Structure 1
Amino acid sequence: MKVKKASLLTKIVVLALLIAAATALLNLQHKITAAQADLAQAQSEVAAQKQINADLADAVENSDDPERQTDIARDKLGLVEPGEYVFYFTD
């Protein structure tokens, strides 16, 4: 029985196909890595937004708390109690 050897053209075609497949796999790996990074970024943003939403829900839920209203008046509006003085120290 005679075994037919592959011609040079066949070897070149097979080599070209292997190179093309390897290039496609590397490109796909790069895309997967980029997609994983995007996913991690999106998950981080979702977690941050959930925290913001929880803080806002707490603020709405406790909006009638007199202590909270006093804190807002002092910190955000700069108001003081009658007879109270605020001192600001500068360098």
Structure 2
Amino acid sequence: MGFRLPRIVTAKQSLQRSSSTGNGASPKAVDVPKGYFAVYIGEEQKKRFVIPLSYLNQPSFQDLLSQAEEEFGYNHPMGGITIPCNEAYFLDLTRSLNDS
């Protein structure tokens, strides 16, 4: 049985999008605050999102991770996990995770 921690950050703060550097190098790990991790979303143009670790416990997010594993394996040269879905779907999913 899980437990819920009180929300400390607002939904807007919990999902942060940042652009990757233009030369293909991944931003430094310092860009990712403690308790968060970076993922890259998009089918053609990848966008970097910094999301809370708590998403890892959610079945809907675990489904995305399974898709990423099937498509990319465990090799993610961009420095974060690349998830093969479109940005609109990902934003809808994260909104629902923030609301629950």
Q: TM-score, normalised by structure 2?
A: 0.18
Q: TM-score, normalised by structure 1?
A: 0.19
Which structure has more RCO (C-alpha within 8 Å, separation ≥ 6)? 2
Q: Which has the greater radius of gyration?
A: 1
